[in-house]
Structure 1
Amino acid sequence: MELLDEIIQKGFKTLGLMEVIKVHEAAREQAITLAILEFISMEQHDAVTQRMEDVMRA
């Protein structure tokens, strides 16, 4: 998350606002996914990850 914080702080100077938002959204999505997978057995990780991707595309 330190890298994300650095990107956000410097991002407004070097990146467009949309790029900063995309990075922030990607980091949030990854954090949520990791938190959810902590409570799901390893055997189900692939199926759950695939289902999350399917839902996000819908």
Structure 2
Amino acid sequence: MFGNLGFWEILLIAVVVIVLFGAKRIPDVMKGLGEGIRSFKKGIAGEAEPTDAKPAKKAE
């Protein structure tokens, strides 16, 4: 999954993420990342996302 990254490289990346975002914001960042990945996979698979918007009226 992580390719050629070893333990120390993954640990360094984790420390940088904690320093940049802070420990309190990491769950929000990961949630947004997960939603983005999920949306990307749906887009690649060709699934349309449901929209709540109503169709636009025809111009007169």
Higher radius of gyration, 1 or 2? 2
- Structure with greater helix percent: 1
**Greater RCO structure (CA 8 Å; 6+ sep):** 1
TM-score (norm: length of structure 2): 0.44
